[in-house]
Amino acid sequence: MTETKKIAVISGDGIGPEVVAEAEKIIKRTEEVFGLSFTTEHALFGGIAIDQKGTPLPEETLKVCKSADAVLLGAVGGPQWDNNPKELRPETGLLGIRKELGLFSNLRPAVIFDCLKDASTLKPEVLEGTDLMVVRELTGGIYFGEKFRREGANGEEAVDTCVYNVTEVERIVRQAFEIAQKRRKKLASVDKANVLETSRLWRETVNRIAPEYPDVELEHVLVDNCAMQLLRRPASFDVIVTENMFGDILSDEAAMLTGSIGMLASASMGEGSYGLYEPVHGSAPDIAGQGLANPIATILSVALMYRLTFGYAEAADAIERAVAEVLDAGHRTADIASNKSSALSTTQMGDLIAEAIRK
């Protein structure tokens, strides 16, 4: 028996509770098969926390997260909170939890699943071999800079400031170099250094530390060009590192290359092995509560958690293998099924994957 680890579980809103329930099924199954041991503690976050506690990120939730080794998050948000003031929006909770837990690095892999090639809007020959990872800076830049309104010469103005210091750039870029070293050893640093001062600092910093990673091939790509190259030559990218807002936009683009956003997992990491893991997709309120959601992205988030936080590589591999096996056998949830009438429900998909997990 291994040491018992603690996972904070945040189901959130919309389809969050449904997909998280399947991920918990997978956690239980790996305890049985691999002799792992976890305690889970549930906490309120997002829209449901606004409704029940009057804030998207209750103190109690932060406490639960801080006392855990890792956090599993479903999804947050929904139309009923869209017109709320800033403090009462799920998104504000998301930014708060990232900052409070020091999660400065957001890893969003985009991989083409062979059996789902047809799901993409791009031609198969363009997609062939695409396997990239967007490393997005998550606690700085324009998201967290000073924001205010003021009276200007021509009436009301709004200001968002974008600030980066060298330390913030260095730590994320180092993580990206290290990730590239474990992959295909290519790093694209994305900025807008032809216009923005923060981008010039970013690029200088990248160039200063690049000699410490001589085995990694580095290219600088301007963000507008990167948006284009992702559609033109996606397979040529390995690791992409970029600042917060560029990363927000490019990681959505990269996810859509795969055509199967219901399949992609992500991790938000700080300095050590602590991490928050969540599907790339949102809370999909339109299909919530109907058993239609694809739980695979959340299940694969558990695999990512096992690998990055706990170092349980064998169990992580087994989860990923089980997902591949079930897909290869032709099982599909509605989002990725060509024949919707034979699609599996959320729990059926979770059951099949759980059963397929073995040593």
Say whether 192 is catalytic.
yes
By 3-state DSSP, what share of the chain in percent is helix, strand and coil, each rounded to 5? 50, 20, 30
213: β partners? none
Q: Which CB atom, from 38 or from 277, has the smaller least distance to ligand IPM?
A: 277
One character per residue 183-212, x = contact with ligand IPM (rule: CB under 6 A): ------------------------------
Which residue in the list 143, 213, 274, 312 is annotated as catalytic?
143
User: Does 253 sit near ligand IPM (CB under 6 A)?
Assistant: no
Q: Count residues contacting ligand IPM (CB under 6 A)?
A: 3
Residue 85's SS3 state is coil
The entry of ligand IPM, Mn ion, none that residue 107 binds, CB within 5 to 8 Å by partner kind: none
Contact 48, 288 (CB under 8 A): no
Say whether 252 is catalytic.
yes
Q: Count residues contacting Mn ion (CB under 5 A)?
A: 1
Say whether 25 is catalytic.
no
Burial of 344 (0-12, 13-18, 19+ CB in 10 A): buried
Say whether 317 is catalytic.
no
Cα separation, 187 vs 219, whole angstroms: 6
Relative to beta strand 265-269, strand 239-242 is: unpaired
Among 17, 248, 308, 343, binds ligand IPM (CB under 6 A): 248
Say whether 215 is catalytic.
no
User: Does 248 sit near Mn ion (CB under 5 A)?
Assistant: yes
Q: Using the rule CB under 5 A, give the single segment among 201-209, 248-256, 257-265, 275-283 that binds Mn ion.
A: 248-256
Residue 69's SS3 state is coil
Q: How far is the CB of 98 from ligand IPM (least distance, A)?
A: 8
The entry of ligand IPM, Mn ion, none that residue 94 binds, CB within 5 to 8 Å by partner kind: ligand IPM
5: β partners? 38
Q: CA 227, 282, 223 angle in degrees (round to 5)? A: 15
Cα separation, 223 vs 246, whole angstroms: 7
Q: How far is the CB of 103 from ligand IPM (least distance, A)?
A: 11
239: β partners? 133, 187
Residues with Cβ within 8 Å of 32's Cβ and at least 6 positions away in sequence, in order, are: none
One character per residue 298-317, x = contact with Mn ion (rule: CB under 5 A): --------------------
User: Does 94 sit near ligand IPM (CB under 6 A)?
Assistant: yes
Interface residues with ligand IPM (CB under 6 A) are 91, 94, 248
Q: What residues are labeled active site?
A: 143, 192, 224, 248, 252
